[in-house]
Structure 1
Amino acid sequence: MEHHPKLVSSEVAALWSAYMQNTMSYCIMQHFGQVNEDPDLTNIIQSTLANCDYVKKGVIQIFESENHAIPIGFTGEDVNLKASRIYSDLFALRYIKYMAAAGTAAAAAFLEVLARNDVRTLFSRTSEMFMKLYNDACELLLKKGAFVRSPTIPPMEKAEYLQSESFLSGILGKHRPLTVMEIAHISKNTETNSIGRTFVAGFSQVAQLPEVRKYMERGAEIAAKHEAVFREILIEDGVPLPSTWDSTISQSINSPFSDKLMMFQVNSLNAIGVAGYGASIGASLRKDLGVHYTRLISEVMQFAVDGTNLMIQHQWMEQPPQNIDREALRNRSV
C-alpha cells in the first residue's frame, strides 16, 4: 500500500521557520536590488531573490497539500521600494554572504529531523542553492578585495599531545595562547556583531515608533560592546585584528522596511548570536573565554526577551504552530 504520512512537528517547524526567514529576506533584497548601483551585484541579487522565492513557494505547496494554514510572514506591505538607500552596495553583498551561510546551516540542521521525501527534497535543494549563493558572494567579495578574513598565525612546527592541565587556564591571571578554534569563533562572533551593529544603527535612524528606535539604539550599543570584548581578547594575545565590516549608513530617515520586519530581523540576529556563543563555549578550552561567552549570552538573551515583548505588544509576533491546548478544551464552558 502507498503510504502518505502527515507532517510531523519537526517538519512543520522547519517549513514555518523557512517561510518566515525567506519572506523577510526577500523584502530586504527587493530594497537592495532597487537601490543597487553596482553592476557586479545585479546577478547575485537576482539569484538571492530567486532562492527566497523558491523556498516560499515550496513551503506553500506542501502546506496547502496538508490543509495547513499559510504563515503571514512578510509581504509587499513590509517594504517600501520608493525609499532611498540606508546601506551601501558593499553591505548588501555582505548581507547576502551572511544570509546564505545562515540559510545553508539552517537547512542542513533541519534535514536531520525530516522524514517525508518532499520536505527533505525541499531542504536539500535549499541547502545546495544557498551554498552556491554563499560561494558566489565570497568570490565577489574576494574580487573586490573586501572579504573579511580571520587573523593569521605562524605555521605549527610539530604535532604533539598536551602535557599539562594549565592548558585550560584559569579565570584570572596569565592565559596560554589562543587555539585556532578559539580564534575562529572569536572572529566569527566579531563578524556577527559587526553586521548586527550596522543593521540596527540604520534601523534606529529610520524606525517609525520611538520605542523601536530606542530598542535599536540599545542593540547597537550592545553589539559595539561585544565587538570590543572580542577585539581586546585578540589584542591581549597578540593576534592581528581582522578587518572591520563596512558600516556606511546614509542620512535617509525614510524607512524602506516596516518596524515589524526590522524587529524580526533583529530577533533573528539575536538567535544566531546566542547559537554562535553557545557553539563557542563548546570549542573554547580556556576558562576565561567561557566566562566571557556566558556573560555575553545573558545580555543578548535579555535584549531578545525585551524585543519579543515589544513585538507582542504591537502584535508583530506571529504565533508559531503549536500543539492543542488540552487543558483549555477540558475547561471550556458548556
Structure 2
Amino acid sequence: MEHNPKLVSSEVAALWSAYMQNSMAFCIVQHFANVNEDPDCTDLIQTALTNCSYVVNEVKLIFKKENHGLPIGFTQEDINLKAGRLYSDLFTLRYIKYMAAAGTVAAAALLEVLARNDVRDFFSKTSQMFMNLYNNACDLLLKKGAFVRSPTIAPMEKAEYLQSESFLSGLIGKHRPLTAIELAHISKNTETNSIGRTFVSGFSQTAKSPEVRKYMERGTQMAAKHETVFRQVLIEDGVPLPSTWDSTISQSIDAPFSDKLMMFQTNSLTEISVAGYGAAIGASLRKDLSGHYTRLVAEVLQYASDGVKLMIENRWMEQPPQNVDREVLRNRSV
C-alpha cells in the first residue's frame, strides 16, 4: 500500500529553521564575497554560497510540494552590496568555519526526529556538505597559521578511577586541575564569544536604529566579559592561553546588512551560546565551573529575551509555524 505521509511538526520545524539560517548566511557571505581580496578564500566563499543556496532552494521545493507557506527569511533587501568592507578576510574565513560547524551539527542532530525519506536525505546531504566546507575552512586556517587551537596538556600516564569526591571541588578555595573535557568546553565557548564579539561590534557601528546600536554595544561588552571569565579560569589553573586572532573591523559606518538581519544573526549567536554553556554545565565536574556557566547563561538568556522584544517591536521577528489555535476558531464560530 503506497504511503504518502505529510510533514510532521519536527520536520516542519527543521526545514523552517534551515531556511531562515541559510537565507541569512547567504546574505552575509555575499557581502564577504563582494569585498574579498584574498584569492585563497575565493573557492571557499563560493562553496559556502552554493551550500546556502542549495538548502534554501530544497526547502522551497519541499514546502511547495506540501502546499506549506514559505518563510519570509532574508532576501536581497537585507543586504547592501554597495557597502564597503566591514570585517577582515580572516574573519570571513573564521565565520565560514563557524557557520559550517553549526550547520553540520544542526543537520546531524535533526536526523533523530525526521521520518520522511526525502527530508532525511536532504538533511543527510546538508550535513555532509557543511562538514566538507568545515574541513576545507580548517585546512585553510591551518595553512595561514590562523587556526585557534585549544590549550595543550601533558599526556596521561595511565587510566585510573576516582577515589575521592574532592575531585568535584568546592566553589571556593583550591581546585583540582581542569580535565581535558572541561578545557575543550572552555575553548569552544571562548571562541564562540570571540566570533560574537567581533560580529556585534561591527553591527554596533553600522546599525541604523539607535536602539539596535545600543543593543549591539551591550552584546560586545557581555561577550568580552565572558571571554575574560574563561581566560581567568585558565590563568588560575596555570594553563597556557590559546592564541587569539581578533579580526580587524573597519571604520565604515555604511551598513552591509539590514537591522533585521543583524538582530537575527545576534539572536542565533545567543542560541548557540546557550547550547554551548548548557553542554559545558553537563560536562564540567568542578563546581566553580558550573557556577560560572550558570551565571553566564542567565545573562545570555536575558540578553536574548531583550533582543526578541526589540525584534517584535520593530516587526522583524518572523512567527515560526505553530499549531492551530482551537480557541480562536471556536470563538469565531460563535
TM-score (norm 1): 0.99
Shift of 1:158: 1.3
2:186 partner letter:
I
Report the aligned-residue RMSD: 0.6
State the match for 1:126 in structure 2: 126
Shift of 1:331: 1.8
State the match for 1:12 in structure 2: 12
Distance in 2 (alpha carbons) for counterparts of 1:159 and 1:121? 41
State the match for 1:281 in structure 2: 281
Distance in 1 (alpha carbons) for counterparts of 2:213 and 2:247? 18
Q: Counterpart of 1:270 in 2: which secondary structure?
A: helix
State the match for 2:247 in structure 1: 247
State the match for 1:180 in structure 2: 180
Are the aligned partners of 2:114 and 2:120 in contact in 1 as well (CA < 8 Å)?
A: yes
Q: Is 1:136 matched up with 2:130?
A: no
Please list the CA deviations of residues 41-94 of structure 1 after superposition, one character each: whole Å capped at 9, or x if unmatched: 000000000000000011000000000001000000000011001000000000
Q: Counterpart of 2:185 in 1: which secondary structure?
A: helix
Are the aligned partners of 2:90 and 2:247 in contact in 1 as well (CA < 8 Å)?
A: no
State the match for 2:51 in structure 1: 51
State the match for 2:39 in structure 1: 39
Distance in 2 (alpha carbons) for counterparts of 1:281 and 1:15? 29
Count of residue pairs brought into register by the alignment: 334
Are the aligned partners of 1:204 and 1:217 in contact in 2 as well (CA < 8 Å)?
A: yes
Distance in 2 (alpha carbons) for counterparts of 1:189 and 1:256? 27
State the match for 1:304 in structure 2: 304
Distance in 2 (alpha carbons) for counterparts of 1:91 and 1:3? 48
Equivalent residues in 2 for 1:22-101 (5 A)? 22-101=22-101
Distance in 2 (alpha carbons) for counterparts of 1:150 and 1:57? 37
Shift of 1:247: 2.6
Q: Counterpart of 1:154 in 2: which secondary structure?
A: coil
Q: Is 1:148 matched up with 2:135?
A: no
Shift of 1:333: 5.9
Distance in 1 (alpha carbons) for counterparts of 2:247 and 2:81? 22
2:320 partner letter:
P
2:144 partner letter:
K
State the match for 1:113 in structure 2: 113
Q: State percent identity of aligned pairs.
A: 78
Please list the CA deviations of residues 172-220 of structure 1 after superposition, one character each: whole Å capped at 9, or x if unmatched: 1110000000000000000000000000000001000000000000000
Are the aligned partners of 1:29 and 1:49 in contact in 2 as well (CA < 8 Å)?
A: yes
State the match for 2:315 in structure 1: 315
Distance in 2 (alpha carbons) for counterparts of 1:194 and 1:279? 18
User: Which ranges of 4 or more aligned residues in structure 1 deviate by more than 2 Å?
Assistant: none
1:91 partner letter:
F
State the match for 2:265 in structure 1: 265
Are the aligned partners of 2:55 and 2:126 in contact in 1 as well (CA < 8 Å)?
A: yes
Distance in 2 (alpha carbons) for counterparts of 1:311 and 1:174? 44
Distance in 1 (alpha carbons) for counterparts of 2:230 and 2:247? 18
2:217 partner letter:
E
Distance in 2 (alpha carbons) for counterparts of 1:10 and 1:219? 31
State the match for 2:224 in structure 1: 224
